[in-house]
Structure 1
Amino acid sequence: MLHKFLCLSLAFCCLAIAGCGSRTASSSQKDYERIVVVSDLHYPTKAVKEDKRQAILDNKEKARQDINSWKDVDLTVFTGDMVAQYGSMDQMKEAKNFIDGFSGDKAYIAGNHELFYKEELKNGKPVMADPALRAAHEENYQKVFGPLHSTKEMGQYFLIFLSPEDTKGKYPVEMSKEELDWLTKTLKENQSKPTIIFYHAPLSDTLIPYNDKVGSPRNFAQPAGAIDLLLLTNPQVKLWVSGHTHTPPTEPSFNNEVNYYHGKILDVYNPTWDGKQVWTNSLYLYKDKIVIKTWDHKKGEWMDNMTRTITL
């Protein structure tokens, strides 16, 4: 009887080990890399009314739990405006504490709210800071989140992370000359690699203006002319991944032919986490294509009509 029990136990263990092995093999056979994009987090929230604040905070926590449950995520990218309003050290640390609760590897870029505004509000809105304060905010950002621009290789793909570093520019989403020089050099040295650029603001003319603010140059990556020249001479750039405009999937501009810059580079718009509900885009990087899918965290399902595919 004891012999029979030992045999059965051994058989059960073998099956369990085999089962674990098959799951591990399945995971190792994944033929894509997955990037989840979190944009315009504005943590904890810009909302003032307490009942609205709590609902927004609950949505953010639920969305973070959803993302942490996705075991195939290779990288989560935070595309700016992580802070509630401005780049004080306190707001930087508060946002970072929440972000630290996301599992796995993370990458960050700054938005206008990290760098561009005074540490005060006027009529509930932030006010443009002078160059000295903007430089101080850049120092805060680097202490909490790291470099303002950087790169990462993911399989065959080359990822570039950029922030609006110009402390003297009139636009809140403007690159500095030094950053543009670095970007020029970086693109030239990596022309053979399919490239994805992450920047807080979208490219010019990749959005149907649905209000006066959205159509303003302040809402598009600057300096537009210099960026245009760089992109036209570097066809390896396949995607420009942006936030800033808070454009949701409920807007026709979210998934539209106009999103293709000069008909070639897809600008992937990412909605804010600081609204009535949360959506996130996932980028699936395959050897021969990139698939962009949009998840509705309220309904807990993919928005199949928003899926886009870029063939390499």
Structure 2
Amino acid sequence: MKPAHLPRVALLLLLAALWPGLAASAAECPRVAVLADIHFKAGDAKKLRAVDDLNDWPGLDLTVVLGDIVARRGTPEEYAQAREFVERIKGPRVLVAGNHEYMYADAEQDGKTPWGSPELRREKLERFRRELGAPQLRQARELGGYLLLFLSADAVDGTTLTELSPQSLDWLARTLRDHPATPTLIFFHAPLKGTLENYAPKINNKDRVAQPADALDAILRKNAQVIAWVSGHTHTKPDNPSFLSDVNRYEGRVANVHTPPYKGGAPWTNVFTLCPDKVTVKTWDHAARQWAPGLERVIPTVR
């Protein structure tokens, strides 16, 4: 065996020890890896190594990337670079668009990056679909007895950073109405309003939460089968008290699971295990090669 292969073999042995029975139980309890806020630039070895870790995990059924995959503005050059990251992911994957995929103009003005016109936003969403192999801006999948709904920020004439279009809101309401008894997880770039403490000046403002907040609230109140909302956007890291806190529970019912950023510091990945009676969420620290201690959470299943 070549010496260069030893670190990868060591990781596989470590995973086998830390995650016993993973492959054997995958059929009963599918596993979904969730990552967010990549902000990828060409050749970022740390982030690519993290993807290699995911590729080596046994029993992983799906990888979800929750937006802000491109570096900053969604230019053709940035999308070409982001494709390196996306294509590194082996196995099934789902991508959703965040604000950096489509919201911004291509150049700064007076030291700031202005928002793009509706026409430019529409063009960039099409670029997201074409360049990253993400043909759908919204989709539903059934996995392990759960309904997984994936939504991109797509309001081309919106007035906030992470906003759903009327078409996406209608699709969400209709899809939930058609599956009233199936426990459901919703994946979107931004969190629900009020599911973080105000640990920074912009947290919980209109541009840091899923919009339109009132319309989403009305939909969630009508659909008790929604057990989790999975988000990124705020770059909330595992050492932040808000990362796992009672405040994460929207209206006392829907668990908002915040995904750590790949940008800045060591990458982290959240892993969801979908068992018949519960969803377990753990956070993998790619630098330390271990599960982040004290951060496992269990979301009871509503059936």
Could you tell me which of 132, 135, 159 is aligned with 2:122?
135
How many residue pairs align between the two structures?
A: 278
1:287 aligned partner: 276
- TM-score, normalised via structure 2 length: 0.88
Could you tell me which of 77, 92, 95 is aligned with 2:79?
92
SS for the counterpart of 1:253 is coil
- Report if the CA contact (8 A) 1:86-1:117 is conserved: yes
1:66 deviation in Å?
1.4
User: Are 1:166 and 2:155 an aligned pair?
Assistant: yes
1:5 aligned partner: none
1:115 aligned partner: 102
SS for the counterpart of 2:175 is helix
* 1:236-275 → structure 2 map (5 Å cutoff): 236-275=225-264
| Residues in 2 aligned to 1:61 and 1:182: alpha-carbon distance in whole angstroms | 34
SS for the counterpart of 1:120 is coil
- Structure 2's unaligned 5+ residue stretches are 1-20
- Report if the CA contact (8 A) 2:162-2:209 is conserved: yes
| Residues in 2 aligned to 1:96 and 1:290: alpha-carbon distance in whole angstroms | 31
SS for the counterpart of 1:159 is strand
| Residues in 2 aligned to 1:65 and 1:178: alpha-carbon distance in whole angstroms | 36
1:141 partner amino acid: F
- Report if the CA contact (8 A) 1:40-1:244 is conserved: yes
Percent of aligned pairs sharing the same letter: 38
User: Are 1:66 and 2:63 an aligned pair?
Assistant: no
| Residues in 2 aligned to 1:26 and 1:250: alpha-carbon distance in whole angstroms | 27
| Residues in 2 aligned to 1:298 and 1:28: alpha-carbon distance in whole angstroms | 27
1:262 partner amino acid: E
Q: Residue deviations 1:35-81, cap 9 Å, x none?
A: 00110111118xxxxxxxx8xx2321221121111111110000000
SS for the counterpart of 2:45 is helix
Superposition RMSD in Å: 1.7
Q: Residue deviations 1:163-214, cap 9 Å, x none?
A: 1111111101011111111111111001111111000000000000111122
- TM-score, normalised via structure 1 length: 0.85
Could you tell me which of 211, 219, 232 is aligned with 2:208?
219
- Structure 1's unaligned 5+ residue stretches are 1-24, 46-53
1:34 aligned partner: 31
Which of structures 1 and 2 has the bigger CA Rg? 1
SS for the counterpart of 1:135 is helix
Higher helix proportion: 1
